[in-house]
Structure formats: C-alpha cells, structure tokens
Amino acid sequence: MHKGLTLSAVEERFPVAGTFTISRGSRTEIRVVTVEISDGVQIGRGECVPYGRYGETVEGVIETILSLAKDFAQGLDRAGLQQRLPGGAARNGLDCALWDLEAKRAGKPVWQLAGLNPPKPIQTAFTLSLDTPENMRAAAEKNAGRPLLKVKLGTDADLERILAVRAGAPHSTIIVDANEGWTAEHYLALAPELVRLGVALVEQPLPAGQDEVLSTIERVLPVCADESCHDRASLSALAGKYDAVNIKLDKTGGLTEALAMRDAAVAAGFDIMVGCMLGTSLAMAPAFLVAQGAPYADLDGPLLLASDRGEAIRYEGSQMQVPVAGLWG
C-alpha cells in the first residue's frame, strides 16, 4: 500500500506542427492533462488526453483526478484504482503515474515490474491528416520513405485521396482511418478499390453502435475497431464484426488494463493495433510497452507536434526508440 501519496493534475498545451485534421475537425494545438503522484521522495508522472467524442473535457478530467486526493492520501493503490474509476482519460493519467512511481521506488523499469520482456525499438505508422487529394499527395511524397502510412479519411473523395497518396508513396503500406465517417455502402464500394491500391486495414469505418452490418458482409478489407472498442469488456461484442482492435490507453484507462486487454484480444483471435490520441512522448512511453510485438503500432503523436517534452522519445524516421527512464518508467 502507498501511504500518504499526494497528487496534482494540470493542463498543458503543445502546438501541432501545422494543422491536424480528421473527419470531426481540425486542431493547431493539443490540450493534455499532466498527472504527478508523489510519496514525498519520488514523483511518478502520467499524461492523458481528454477526448470530446467520449464526453470528456480537460476541466472535467482534472476535477475527477483531484477528487481522489483524499483516497490516495489514505492508501488507494493501482489495483484499487481499477475499481474506483471507470476506463477513460482520468484513470489513464493516474494509472501511468502510479506505474512510474512504482518503478522509481523499486529502482526497476516498468517492463520488469509488469513481467514483460525487455522492450525493443518498433516501427510506427505516420499519420497523414485529412486534406485535399493534392495536398495529401504532397504529404505522401514528403513521407514516401516511411514503411507505414496512416491516412485519415471519412468524407467524399476518399478514393481520390488514396489514389493521390499511393501516387505520392508508391512503396509504403497504407492503413486508413475513417473515424466513423462511412456507411456500409461506402465500405462495400471502396474496400475492393482500396485493397487493389495496397491498403492493409481500415479503422472504424462505421459509427460505433451502428456497426452490426459488418458481421453480415464480406470484409475484403480487414476492419479494426477503435471507437467501438475500449477495454476487455467490449471485446465480446466485436466478435464477427472486426478483425483487429485499436488499443489506446486513454480508452482502456491506463497501462494496467491495456496490457490485460492486449492478452485477451490476442486470445480471442484479434490482430492488435496500439494507437494514441494526439499526445506527447509522456503519453507514448507506456503505450510503447503495449505495442511490443503488435502487428501495427500507431504511436506517432510526437512526430505531429511542433514541440515535445524534455527527454522526449527519439524517432529515427519511423523507428521509435526505447524511451529513456528520465521520461517515464
């Protein structure tokens, strides 16, 4: 039990490199919540990214986190936290901060405490923001050397966009993310064309809660659940509709559930993508552990920012290096 822990949660803002656009809108900066938990000697840190799609706000998440100050002072630990809060950004920030604190107190890395193998560098996807086909071709040409490109779609002219991206990056593997912007008719019309163009996967083509049709059609292009998939409890409803799941710590409510969900999803026959909200290296570091061995890693958040945290994760092209202990874990 951790006795006498104190905690803080503050908003921090980081500028996006240019503008980041998906089917729901555009951003030029990100607002994250930085969580610190201290035992009076060591300080554990975590980051979470509240997401309006799930009814979260920065202010609400900070309020939820700070409401547990008395609980932590009285001995609430990471196991108890899983019962105390539901999945989501607030629990993610706290859970990752507790892992970081445990690692510092033990003098051992988080991977060792969690019983994982030593982490190795991984290849991450690089995201191309939703734009005109011409601009997306230019962005693809600029990043044509990257092995895996993730392309934001979800509006009319999606086929033209992929044709443009493929022309700009003829050798990259492409995955696409419709962010709930398609209908079943869109999928049936686009999927064969996208497969022909070398697209390997589509994320969340249909709105969560309106995806039953995926179990009744031939999925010639594999489908990955994102907004339909949050934690282990959501896996059973995905069977027969999805081929893969996107695990994000801000959905699972932290590293603890993310690791358990990964194992459960693999056992259930799903391919794994480990993704992220648009966050800094502090948010990517725990997700990096979940992404070890996953077929798809989409942890390029820091590459899309104009500035990052100190002791940031180093990326060599699309290869994400092992985070340094001074950052997290």
Whole-angstrom Cα distance, residue 77 to residue 5?
9
**Cα 198 to Cα 196: distance, rounded to the nearest angstrom:** 5
Residues 6 or more apart whose CB falls under 8 angstroms from that of 191 comprise: 202, 219, 220, 221
Q: Alpha-carbon distance 211 to 202, whole Å?
A: 14
- Distance in angstroms (rounded) separating the CA atoms of residues 285 and 96: 9
Active site residue 120: no
Q: Report residue 66 as tokens.
A: 């700070």
Catalytic residue among 104, 150, 241, 248: 248
Place of tokens 């990752």: 96
Please report where in the chains the tokens 């709930």 appear, as a residue.
Answer: 180
Tell me whether strands 244-247 and 223-225 are parallel, antiparallel or unpaired: parallel
From 104, 152, 241, 251, the catalytic residue: 152
Alpha-helix residue ranges (DSSP H) falling in 203-280: 249-252, 255-267
Return the axis-axis angle of helices 281-290 and 255-267, rounded to nearest 10°. 30
Burial status of residue 282 (CB atoms within 10 A of its CB: 0-12, 13-18, 19 or more): buried
**Distance between CA 172 and CA 150 in Å, rounded?**
10
- For the question of residue 3 being annotated catalytic, the response is no
First to last CA, the chain: 19
Which residues are marked as active site? Answer: 152, 248
